[in-house]
Amino acid sequence: MTVSHEDLEKLLDDASRGSNATLTVDLEAKEIRGPDGGVVKFDLDDFKRHCLLNGLDDIGLTMEKSSAIDRFEKATAESRPWA
């Protein structure tokens, strides 16, 4: 995730307000909303954003391809039964 130095200072100031400081991260909109209603835009790689939004780790990413894996395994078993 990337934010400007100015925005980082704003976020740190917001966070320093203690328990009254609520920061809300909106991955869909790529925004962080501060307790005063201010909005900081951030950049995030689309792949990382997809993984975060869908709760995917390395195993989850692999499981998204389970149909293709199954087809490959079946084709391999049919074409090379000795393997």
pLDDT digits over 35-77, tens only?
888 899 999 999 999 999 999 999 999 999 999 999 999 999 9
Kindly state whether residues 2 and 13 are assigned to the same domain: yes
- Please say whether the dihedral angle defined by the alpha carbons of residues 67, 72, 77 and 79, taken in this order, is positive or negative: positive
The pLDDT assigned to 17 comes to: 80
Kindly state whether residues 52 and 16 are assigned to the same domain: no
For 62-71, the CB contacts below 8 A with 24+ separation are: none
Kindly state whether residues 39 and 68 are assigned to the same domain: no
What domain count does the chain have? 2
Kindly state whether residues 62 and 39 are assigned to the same domain: no
Kindly state whether residues 34 and 73 are assigned to the same domain: no
Kindly state whether residues 81 and 57 are assigned to the same domain: yes
Domain that holds residue 27: 1-44
Kindly state whether residues 66 and 77 are assigned to the same domain: yes
Which amino acid type is present at position 31?
E
